[in-house]
């Protein structure tokens, strides 16, 4: 296990632990307003200070982690559960009209400016965490479809697959029994990376007001709320910003580390 993996896994589990802990304990009620105590800088009572409504920032960051993780995780779930079968199908029917259709569909989704579409989706169906998940999830589908197809194609040339075909197994069964387990590592690595991109995307959507709605805290909205106050209360922007950076950094390091650990030859598109 590399240093990257240890550091990344450490950072990520810290965030996950904070999120889990917030279900049972936070220093203060994250939604409780205390306007006379507003805009305190970090101190003994409020470790991360208070926001413009006097809410405890530490509690909000903890619960915000929950929001970020939930949105990003579910978006990756959407991407995987639709993208992987599509990719497997395309690879199994390589060169057919179905393959062509799936890959062109992929290109089409890729061609849409994702943020603009996310904004459109939320404009149509209303802002909220669920729509943010869908908006981010849609753009995860082609990512998983493409890498699954790529990896599966090379597997189809391998001898153990040929053997299975000779044994009379159908394409669907081969995909499920032989191809999928062999692309799993790749999917875990890519999933980690999409997860971190999802955290960033959620922050961006919340920042423009299209993510989770108040009173549910979200790091992106905390930044948006802080924007006019950075000049006299910089901690309002610094703390949620650092939370995002450390989480994404942790996930990326973990992704890189996992890749090296699981299979040093694996190559995953980063962009």
**Residue 214 engages another protein in binding (rule: CB under 8 A):** yes
Which is closer to another protein, CB of 1 or CB of 245? 245
Report the DSSP beta bridge partners of residue 252: none
**Residue 270 engages another protein in binding (rule: CB under 8 A):** yes
Which of 212, 178, 199 is CA-nearest to residue 254? 199
Report the 10 Å Cβ neighbour count for 58. 20
Among 112, 158, 184, 188, binds another protein (CB under 8 A): 112
Work out how close the CB of 252 gets to another protein at its nearest, in angstroms, rounded to a whole number.
6
Cα–Cα distance between 60 and 217 in angstroms, integer? 6
Work out how close the CB of 233 gets to another protein at its nearest, in angstroms, rounded to a whole number.
9
Report which secondary-structure segment, H or E, holds 234: none
Work out how close the CB of 134 gets to another protein at its nearest, in angstroms, rounded to a whole number.
13
Which is closer to another protein, CB of 63 or CB of 248? 248
The CA-atom distances, in angstroms, between 258 and each of 4, 36, 83, 191 are 9, 48, 21, 11
**Residue 101 engages another protein in binding (rule: CB under 8 A):** no
Q: In this chain, which stretch among 19-27, 67-75, 170-178, 202-210 interacts with another protein, using CB under 8 A?
A: 202-210
Which of 33, 42, 87, 85 is CA-nearest to residue 214? 33
Among 14, 208, 266, 268, binds another protein (CB under 8 A): 208
CB 240 within 8 A of CB 222: yes
- Site size toward another protein (CB under 8 A) is 60
Cα–Cα distance between 237 and 136 in angstroms, integer? 24
CB 39 within 8 A of CB 55: no
**Residue 121 engages another protein in binding (rule: CB under 8 A):** yes
Work out how close the CB of 30 gets to another protein at its nearest, in angstroms, rounded to a whole number.
11
**Residue 40 engages another protein in binding (rule: CB under 8 A):** no
Work out how close the CB of 207 gets to another protein at its nearest, in angstroms, rounded to a whole number.
6
Sign of CA pseudo-dihedral 235, 236, 239, 241: negative
Residue 128: which residues within 8 A CB-CB, separation 6 or more?
Answer: 122, 211, 212, 213
Cα–Cα distance between 160 and 151 in angstroms, integer? 15
Residues 42-71 binding another protein (CB under 8 A) are 52-54
**Tokens 């000049």 label which residue?**
231
**Residue 265 engages another protein in binding (rule: CB under 8 A):** no
Among 15, 85, 207, 254, binds another protein (CB under 8 A): 207
Report the DSSP beta bridge partners of residue 21: none
Residues 152-181 binding another protein (CB under 8 A) are none
Work out how close the CB of 203 gets to another protein at its nearest, in angstroms, rounded to a whole number.
5
Provide the binding-site residues for another protein, judged by CB under 8 A. Answer: 31-33, 35, 38, 52-54, 95, 99-100, 103-104, 107-108, 110-113, 115-117, 119-121, 123-124, 126-127, 196, 200, 203-204, 207-209, 213-215, 220, 223, 226-232, 234, 237, 241, 244-246, 248-249, 252-253, 270-271
């Amino acid at each position: 296990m590399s240093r990257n993996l240890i550091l990344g896994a450490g950072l990520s589990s810290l965030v996950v632990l904070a999120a889990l802990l917030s279900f049972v304990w936070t220093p203060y009620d994250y939604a409780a307003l205390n306007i006379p105590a507003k805009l305190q800088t970090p101190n003994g009572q409020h470790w991360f200070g208070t926001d413009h409504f006097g809410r405890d920032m530490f509690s909000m960051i903890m619960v915000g982690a929950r929001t970020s993780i939930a949105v990003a995780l579910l978006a990756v779930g959407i991407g995987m559960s639709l993208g992987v079968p599509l990719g497997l199908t395309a690879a199994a029917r390589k060169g057919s009209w179905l393959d062509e259709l799936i890959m062109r569909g992929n290109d089409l989704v890729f061609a849409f400016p994702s943020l603009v579409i996310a904004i459109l989706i939320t404009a149509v169906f209303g802002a909220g965490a669920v729509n943010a998940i869908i908006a981010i999830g849609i753009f995860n589908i082609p990512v998983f479809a493409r890498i699954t197809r790529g990896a599966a194609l090379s597997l189809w040339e391998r001898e153990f697959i040929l053997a299975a075909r000779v044994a009379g197994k159908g394409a669907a069964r081969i995909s499920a029994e032989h191809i999928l387990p062999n692309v799993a590592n790749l999917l875990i690595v890519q999933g980690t990376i999409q997860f971190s991109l999802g955290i960033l995307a959620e922050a961006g959507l919340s920042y423009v007001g299209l993510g989770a709605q108040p009173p549910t805290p979200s790091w992106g909205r905390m930044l948006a709320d802080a924007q006019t106050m950075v000049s006299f209360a910089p901690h309002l922007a610094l703390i949620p910003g650092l939370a995002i950076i450390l989480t994404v950094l942790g996930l990326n390091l973990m992704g890189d580390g996992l890749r090296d650990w699981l299979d040093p030859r694996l190559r995953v598109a980063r962009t």
